[in-house]
């Protein structure tokens, strides 16, 4: 019996040692404001031309990140390579025309087009059916009683007076909803009369996408001005503008012409891999997107905060973990350092990775995603805005997440953790707007770290001189402390909360 008890005691001692997590603080010191600054003045420099997906600046940034991963001794995260390539298709407008009753109108003056949404076609029709606001869903059906099969449809932009725009239908989402309704009802093409044309459509030249082959080709859609609307509806225009006329058909000879070319390009995610020890088949993903908006009208969109701050944080997290491994304190789980491109275009890089994972998602315990952590939110009116970070998603998918996050913050960082964007009614829908969402959508628990929306967001003025490097250091170290426990704890995170029922 004493021998059995001795074995049991020894077993308990081994288990106790396995559960004990080493002190991460000596290795967190690797993450410094000076090194973050050094990296960011390169990543967000004019030489990288705003890092637009599939463009030369993005390729330069990818090479820089790959070389840094190599210098740290990280293994290639994609088999024998550091970059995971995916196709990008660039549409370029070659011409568009619109005629009504023999009168020609001018592109980007009288009418506007979305290059990505339309397909090559010349469409003619002798009748235009007015279908109100073009809404056809569970709340309202503007197509009721109308036969629009094979016909050109005219609809009003926006929503009816007194009805708020639903979440997810702002901007391009609203146009898509009108296209989808027209397609469902069999329309051949759509004309949207809208006084205020979306800025993204003005002087349309081209768009990029990640698929050349669409499941559904929606009707070609042109945004038209008052001149064209009058040419179609005549004396009914004033009533049309007020949204008063009932759905009806107008006799008008209309010719809609649209032409584009498609170039086949590619982009890439950059993957660095640090093998774990006894739990090496389980993965912690640390992610950030390194792409930005490129150049527009001669201006470089530097993207220092969005998301240069996250990108350089990933580089410093990698440096801290590799130093720990060299000191014999390496993580039990393997860590994938994932720098995504295509985020600004629609979360492309993370979508490609989660659809083609190099490491199984069922063995991926968490994705800690960093997207903008170098600035202060000017709209934050509570607490100490020099010592906070927005933590998004820690209350979703896993009941383990939030306690671990808060425990590490209390023990090490002592930041104010702000959960503002976890509100299901968040009008900005921040939870759905960065790369972590593609992991969450596959069931992988996530935390998203964020600093808020400031005046330089998506502007050429988002430059590295405006970053608060001290708070960037503190936030990056907080992510490191959290990742350290995620990598060393005995169990993978529970997946015991359903994904919120809303798509991106």
Distance CA 309, CA 333 (A): 25
- Burial class from Cβ neighbours inside 10 Å (0-12, 13-18, 19+) for residue 129 reads buried
Per-residue pLDDT band at 501 (split at 50, 70, 90):
low
To which residue do tokens 């081994």 refer? 14
Distance CA 339, CA 315 (A): 9
Query: How many residues in the chain?
Result: 504
pLDDT over 70 (residue 188): yes
Residue whose C-alpha is closest to residue 325's, from 38, 138, 75, 157: 75
Distance CA 260, CA 310 (A): 36
Per-residue pLDDT reduced to its tens digit, 459-497: 999 999 999 999 999 999 999 999 999 999 999 999 999
pLDDT over 90 (residue 398): yes
pLDDT over 90 (residue 7): no
Confidence at residue 139, expressed as pLDDT on a 0 to 100 scale: 81
Confidence at residue 396, expressed as pLDDT on a 0 to 100 scale: 95
Confidence at residue 213, expressed as pLDDT on a 0 to 100 scale: 79
Residue whose C-alpha is closest to residue 488's, from 315, 325, 272: 325
Distance CA 322, CA 274 (A): 7
Per-residue pLDDT band at 174 (split at 50, 70, 90):
confident
Confidence at residue 195, expressed as pLDDT on a 0 to 100 scale: 72
Alpha helix stretches (DSSP H) within 441-497 = 469-488
Enter the tokens of residue 220.
């070609």
Per-domain residue ranges for the chain? 21-89+264-488, 93-262
How do strand 333-340 and strand 364-370 relate by DSSP bridges? unpaired
Fold (CATH) for 21-89+264-488: Aminopeptidase (3.40.630)
Which of the listed CATH numbers 3.40.50.970, 3.40.30.10, 3.40.50.720, 3.50.30.30 matches domain 93-262? 3.50.30.30
Per-residue pLDDT reduced to its tens digit, 375-388: 999 999 999 999 99
- In the chain, the percentage of residues whose pLDDT exceeds 90 is 80
**What average pLDDT is seen over the chain?**
91
Distance CA 335, CA 504 (A): 27
Per-residue pLDDT reduced to its tens digit, 15-65: 333 457 899 999 999 999 999 999 999 999 999 999 999 999 999 999 999
Confidence at residue 395, expressed as pLDDT on a 0 to 100 scale: 95
Distance CA 139, CA 344 (A): 32
To which residue do tokens 């396995």 refer? 18
Distance CA 413, CA 135 (A): 50
* pTM of the full structure: 0.84
Confidence at residue 17, expressed as pLDDT on a 0 to 100 scale: 37
Enter the tokens of residue 44.
């967000």
């Amino acid at each position: 019996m004493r021998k059995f008890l001795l074995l049991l005691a020894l077993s308990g001692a081994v288990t106790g040692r396995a559960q004990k997590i080493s002190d991460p603080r000596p290795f967190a010191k690797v993450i410094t404001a000076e090194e973050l600054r050094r990296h960011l003045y390169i990543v967000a420099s004019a030489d990288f031309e705003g890092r637009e997906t599939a463009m030369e600046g993005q390729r330069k940034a990818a090479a820089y990140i790959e070389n840094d991963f190599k210098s740290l001794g990280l293994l290639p995260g994609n088999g024998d390579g550091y970059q995971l390539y995916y196709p990008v298709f660039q549409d370029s407008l070659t011409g568009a025309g619109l005629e009504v009753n023999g009168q020609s109108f001018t592109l980007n003056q009288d009418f506007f087009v979305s290059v990505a949404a339309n397909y090559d076609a010349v469409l003619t029709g002798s009748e235009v059916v007015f279908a109100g606001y073009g809404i056809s869903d569970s709340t309202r059906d503007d197509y009721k009683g109308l036969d629009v099969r094979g016909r050109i449809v005219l609809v009003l932009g926006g929503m009816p007076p007194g009805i708020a725009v639903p979440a997810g239908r702002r901007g391009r989402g609203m146009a898509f909803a009108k296209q989808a309704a027209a397609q469902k009802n069999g329309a051949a093409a759509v004309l949207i009369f809208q006084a205020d044309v979306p800025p993204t459509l003005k002087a349309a030249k081209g768009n990029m996408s990640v698929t050349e082959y669409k499941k559904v080709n929606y009707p070609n859609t042109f945004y038209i001005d008052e001149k064209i609307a009058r040419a179609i509806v005549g004396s009914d225009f004033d009533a049309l503008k007020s949204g008063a006329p009932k759905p009806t058909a107008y006799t008008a000879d209309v010719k809609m012409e649209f032409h584009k070319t498609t170039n086949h390009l590619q982009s890439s995610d950059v993957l660095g891999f640090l093998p774990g020890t006894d739990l090496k088949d389980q993965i912690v993903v640390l992610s950030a997107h390194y792409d930005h908006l490129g150049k527009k009208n001669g201006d470089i969109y530097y993207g220092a905060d969005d998301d240069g701050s996250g990108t350089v944080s990933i580089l410093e997290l990698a440096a801290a973990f590799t130093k720990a491994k060299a000191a014999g304190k390496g993580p039990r789980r393997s860590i994938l350092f994932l720098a995504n491109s295509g985020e600004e275009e629609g979360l492309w890089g993370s979508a490609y990775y989660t659809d083609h994972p190099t490491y199984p998602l069922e063995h991926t315990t968490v994705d800690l995603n960093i997207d903008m952590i170098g600035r202060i939110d000017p709209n934050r009116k509570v607490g100490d805005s020099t010592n906070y970070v927005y933590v998004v998603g820690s209350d979703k998918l896993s009941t383990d997440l939030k306690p671990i996050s808060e425990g590490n913050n209390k023990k090490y960082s002592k930041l104010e953790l702000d959960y503002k964007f976890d509100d299901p009614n968040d009008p900005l829908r921040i939870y759905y707007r960065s790369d972590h969402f593609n992991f969450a959508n596959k069931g992988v628990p996530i935390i998203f770290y964020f600093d808020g929306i400031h005046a330089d967001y998506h502007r050429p003025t988002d430059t590295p001189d405006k970053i608060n490097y001290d708070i960037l250091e503190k936030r990056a170290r907080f992510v490191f402390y959290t990742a350290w426990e995620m990598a060393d704890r005995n169990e993978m995170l529970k997946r015991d909360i359903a994904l919120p029922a809303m798509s991106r």
